[in-house]
Amino acid sequence: MRSFWRTLGPGTLRDIALVCAADAIVGASFGAIAVSGGLDPWVPVAMSLLVFAGGAQFAAVGVVLAGGGPAAAVAAGLVLNARLLPFGFAVADALGSRWWTRLPGAHLIMDEAVAFAMRHDDPRRRRDVFWTCGLALFACWNAGVAAGVAAGRAIGDTGALGLDAAFPTVLLALVLPSLASPGVRRAALTGAGVAVAATPFLPAGLPVLLAPAGLLAAARRRRRTMPGDATPGDATPEET
């Protein structure tokens, strides 16, 4: 056990704890919003246990509370969760090779666990970080949702308490150190620009899916600046 904690490192554990704290607050906000909107208490609890995808859950509940049907709610959740497919390939090694680890591991795939795992190249450390973050987030999210459901009628307007701002604030604090790199900064700004430009034309939740376009722009720029990329057609007259 001591070796396990040394493998993770105090910095990683601190960052995971911060994200878990924010996740619990947002989970409480989700539970309170769902119940105050008229849903039965078991609905947000069951969604959190079986779906475990904050953005998709907010989108599905938003569709239902706005008068949409179950099919539209499921479609909104699927669109938002489409990004998790490439995430699964990125951390496949952390899930193990047995079906009894892959199935629960796939359920724990979310942005935060993948981001923490992708920080590391060592397979063992990637596995430890992924499972620690995933299980901690699962527990904190569901505990937060249950607390929000219990206090939903008393809280009333959850937006007035700023609960919905806690999670993106913590994520921004974690991302800021990475922005010191010019390449990362260019990719982030390009992706943010694409998402903001698409906001007036696409339904809520879809513009953010276009943000990875910033990675494509950064990759093209890097390829242009790398030396030794001359193609056969670039030969000079003397060489032909």
State pLDDT tens for residues 38-95: 888 899 999 999 989 887 888 788 778 777 778 878 887 887 787 788 888 888 888 8
What is the pTM (predicted TM-score) of this model?
Answer: 0.66
Residue 35 and residue 140 in one domain: yes
Nearest to 83 by CA among 172, 195, 209: 209
Q: Which tokens sit at 103?
A: 């199935």
pLDDT of residue 146: 93
In this prediction, residue 226 has a pLDDT band, given cuts at 50, 70 and 90, of low
The answer to whether residues 65 and 40 touch, using CB atoms and an 8 Å cutoff, is no
Domain range for 16 is 2-163
Residue 92 and residue 201 in one domain: no
- Flag the least confident range among 18-27, 55-64, 165-174: 165-174
Residue 65 and residue 144 in one domain: yes
Asked if the structure places residue 105 within a domain, the reply is yes
Answer whether residue 225 shows pLDDT above 70. Answer: no
Nearest to 129 by CA among 114, 144, 147, 111: 114
Q: What's the total number of domains in the chain?
A: 2
Asked if the structure places residue 171 within a domain, the reply is no
Asked if the structure places residue 172 within a domain, the reply is no
In this prediction, residue 220 has a pLDDT band, given cuts at 50, 70 and 90, of low
Percent of the chain with pLDDT over 70: 73
What is the mean predicted confidence (pLDDT) over 31-44? 86
In this prediction, residue 234 has a pLDDT band, given cuts at 50, 70 and 90, of very low
pLDDT of residue 239: 44
Average pLDDT, the chain: 77
Answer whether residue 221 shows pLDDT above 60. Answer: yes
Residue 122 and residue 207 in one domain: no
The answer to whether residues 207 and 198 touch, using CB atoms and an 8 Å cutoff, is yes
Asked if the structure places residue 136 within a domain, the reply is yes
Percent of the chain with pLDDT over 90: 10
Residue 142 and residue 223 in one domain: no
130, 163, 196 — which closes off a domain?
163
Most confident of the following: 60-64, 104-108, 169-173: 104-108
Backbone φ and ψ of 204, nearest 5°: -60, 135
- Higher pLDDT: 59 or 107? It is 107
Q: Which tokens sit at 185?
A: 């900064």
Rg of the chain over all Cα atoms, to the nearest angstrom: 21
Residue 34 and residue 122 in one domain: yes
Asked if the structure places residue 170 within a domain, the reply is no
